Structure 1
Amino acid sequence: MKKILAFIVIFVLVIFLAYQFGFVDFLTDIAGLRAYLENLGWVGYLIFILLSVVVAVFLLPGQFLAIVGGLAYGGLLGGTLTIIGASLGASISFIIGKYVARDYILRRFGNDATFQKIEKGVSENGISFLIFTRLVPIFPYAIQSYAYAMTPMSVKKFSLISFATMMPASFIYAFMASEIVSKGVSLTLLLELTAAGALLALLAYLPKRFSKKIKQLNSEYKKE
């Protein structure tokens, strides 16, 4: 109970302060955030990763961070920092949900449609559902981490799969942002965006395909 109360107090306090002191506006100001990080030099790398973790854990609006990373540091470094921060934030959220605030989260969000769909998806499709929802963000990434913490999935499995499956989008967003800054919007960029979208769609289809194949093999094995 003490852990739950402490989590609730910290969670609510951080969100209140984030809105009260303009931190949320700062996170959504692409130009301002980019300039701030660039002026920090290499320390900005650590700040960027920390921002990604805070955004994930406290469910703050951070959908532009991958773009900011690409604008400030280029495609390769920006994508690398994005995936490090995003995967760390996801893992910490998962650990908090599973071991610190599980009862509170169940009471607070147990009837939420997103939570119920994820629980049902994992029970029916296993880790392939996690792979699919990470590649195709039909649910917000941050909420997913807490929702998956309510399933029997282990921290190690969740962390490794999240890292691998969030990597394509992290690098795609960072590279696209970097391309726009250096070359502007062009036909080549539009073609690259189309190819990136097709790649993500293909990657999202694979786990479902393999899941069906595994179920078919299991069914044939039982018949024998």
Structure 2
Amino acid sequence: MGVQDLLKNLLDWVANLGFWGPAAFIIIYNLATILFVPGSLLTLGAGVVFGVFWGSIYVSIGSVIGATFAFLIGRYFARDWVAKKLENHEQFKAIDQAVGQEGWKIVGLTRLSPIFPFNLLNYAFGLTNVSLKDYFLASWIGMLPGTILYVYVGSLIGSLAQLGMGERSRTSVEWLFYGMGLIVTVIVTIYITKIAQNALNQKIK
């Protein structure tokens, strides 16, 4: 059984739990985030199972708690392992320099862009000097737009059986979001690179 089939089975189980469904979903999302499992299928599934409003709330809670646990693991329990994983990651080096200058702003901006690796960044930010409070708030706010969109798309799919099944036509809202995501990615990349370069120049001086 692949990861996708496992997640679909878990979502089906959650859908039949009744009152305990939301709590089970949040725990599953939390664990998936810590274990580097992509959250897109779970987020889409939340739209199917819970609808847009409650699905967005449950995904938001699960993702930010999971991201916070990963941050704490990276900072206090697996610092050497995370550092080794990132030692040749040029993108993170620039982000690290930028966080040193702008802190929570960089955390929030990277959450807005779909290009930056979400699960890896959770651990990576634990190596930076950003505070837990700033990391938590910036991550939560930065992840909200993408969370709401994916839950909304999931609500349009209609059934868990159709999750991950082939291509379908995208809505105008999706195309708008993807276009904005591309623009944000370009802006964030330029911004981070500029700040990182300024930080390096200051060190050289």
What residue number does 2:85 align with? 109
Letter in 2 for 1:60: V
- Provide runs of 4+ in structure 1 moved above 6 Å: 184-187, 202-211
Considering only aligned residues, what root-mean-square deviation do their CA atoms show, in Å?
3.1
Is residue 191 of structure 1 aligned with residue 172 of structure 2? yes
- With the length of structure 2 as denominator, give the TM-score of the two structures: 0.76
Letter in 2 for 1:160: L
Is residue 134 of structure 1 aligned with residue 111 of structure 2? yes
Once the 2 structures are TM-superposed, how far is the Cα of residue 103 of structure 1 from its aligned partner? 2.9
Once the 2 structures are TM-superposed, how far is the Cα of residue 135 of structure 1 from its aligned partner? 0.7
Contact 1:118-1:147 at 8 Å conserved across structures: no
Once the 2 structures are TM-superposed, how far is the Cα of residue 100 of structure 1 from its aligned partner? 2.0
- Percent identity between the two aligned chains: 26
Q: Please list, as runs of the form range in 1=range in 2, the aligned pairs for 1:129-208 lying within 5 A after superposition.
A: 129-181=106-158, 190-200=171-181
Query: Structure 1, unaligned stretches of length 5 or more?
Result: 1-21, 212-224
Letter in 2 for 1:152: N
Query: Structure 2, unaligned stretches of length 5 or more?
Result: 193-205
Partner deviation per Cα, 1:196-221 (whole Å, 9 max, x = no partner): 3345457668878999xxxxxxxxxx
Q: Please list, as runs of the form range in 1=range in 2, the aligned pairs for 1:1-224 lying within 5 A after superposition.
A: 25=2, 27-29=4-6, 31-106=8-83, 108-113=84-89, 114-123=91-100, 125-181=102-158, 190-200=171-181
Q: Quick check: which has more Rg, 1 or 2?
A: 1
Q: Report the 3-state secondary structure (helix = DSSP H, G, I; strand = E; otherwise coil) of the residue aligned with 2:122.
A: helix
Q: Report the 3-state secondary structure (helix = DSSP H, G, I; strand = E; otherwise coil) of the residue aligned with 2:127.
A: coil
Letter in 2 for 1:191: S
Which stretch of the first structure deviates more once superposed, 167-176 or 93-102?
A: 93-102
CA distance in 1, matches of 2:57, 2:186: 25
Once the 2 structures are TM-superposed, how far is the Cα of residue 71 of structure 1 from its aligned partner? 1.0
CA distance in 2, matches of 1:148, 1:115: 9
CA distance in 2, matches of 1:77, 1:204: 28
Once the 2 structures are TM-superposed, how far is the Cα of residue 26 of structure 1 from its aligned partner? 5.1
Which stretch of the first structure deviates more once superposed, 92-101 or 55-64?
A: 55-64
CA distance in 1, matches of 2:27, 2:44: 16
CA distance in 1, matches of 2:63, 2:156: 22
Once the 2 structures are TM-superposed, how far is the Cα of residue 130 of structure 1 from its aligned partner? 1.7
Contact 1:56-1:90 at 8 Å conserved across structures: yes
Give the direction of change, closer, same or farther, for the CA distance of 1:139–1:173 in structure 2 (3 Å limit): same
Equivalent residue pairs, number? 186
Once the 2 structures are TM-superposed, how far is the Cα of residue 124 of structure 1 from its aligned partner? 5.3
CA distance in 2, matches of 1:63, 1:155: 25
CA distance in 1, matches of 2:86, 2:178: 33
Which stretch of the first structure deviates more once superposed, 91-100 or 29-38?
A: 29-38
CA distance in 1, matches of 2:77, 2:150: 33
Once the 2 structures are TM-superposed, how far is the Cα of residue 126 of structure 1 from its aligned partner? 3.8
